[in-house]
Structure 1
């Protein structure tokens, strides 16, 4: 089995946060980007899709084409930048502060398993053929926290001119994904100021505050 890499999606506009860079929000004394990199501790390399900012861990920065082309375009840009030895990739949105290395371990284990529907602890099913695993929020939403087979992602990629604005669920719609139930607050994201406050985010303030 080849290497495991990480792709962190940090190139959004933060529109519902008034244009604030989510990666710079601080939760528990660490930026959201560094928390995402902490979650990728087991990976051999990490590609960050977004503006270049200081990080504690060496990473490769790339941008989707066009910039702000959406998370699917970002995911594909990140995968395109991976080394040849990588056959599995963890994909994380930067705005999920409660995703940890333990979350990633469960996602990767589900991808590496048999590939049927995940059980209550994220265990894989019994009939084989998984292309990936995705974190399932308590409300049933699939979150942007996944472990994916790189070859399957590349095979599913549309031509470059058709990637801007493509939803992730459309990109992975033909892939067989194991659903791994979120534990505690893993499935929460920070896409509004109310959500940022609920997460205990500091360091930046809403416009007009």
Structure 2
């Protein structure tokens, strides 16, 4: 008798594992707020390492889980936990000049996660790092910097042009942080190649 082999079947990731990863990366983002913040510009919106960790989160977890991890972090901060930069917390931060950046965090993780998923499916070697890095820079510009500047204009009372000029101070640091996040994420995906892919079970 001939024996047929069934086609490979994709097994969904464990919901428990996904939940654990979301919680762990949310805690990692919160822990990054402990690093000293450097106030910049007239409004004193600080340079932090949080955007590095958020980019890393999106690159490692992908769009949905990266968004959920970052949104969990933001939600916990808004309900009062002192996990934003300089140990701030509470809904009052949305009345400050950094509100636009905080709102942008989950969207940034989502966009970076989409880039990472695309890059992992098509690129290898140094091109994988370059693809993640370039995508994170673009996502940062169209999301974090745009909303951040608007937040400074609305809550800081700056003219729109002045707000975008103030935001430009953060570009060099963000480029460096996105490069580091991409390098770390590539290392993680080499060690855990199924982190953003579905496991395949072959019927026997």
Q: TM-score, normalising length from structure 2?
A: 0.29
Structure with more of its chain in helix, by fraction? 2
Q: Which structure has the higher relative contact order (CA within 8 Å, separation 6+)?
A: 2
Which structure's residues are more often strand, by fraction?
Answer: 1
**TM-score, normalised relative to structure 1:** 0.28
Decide which structure has the larger Cα Rg and report it. 2
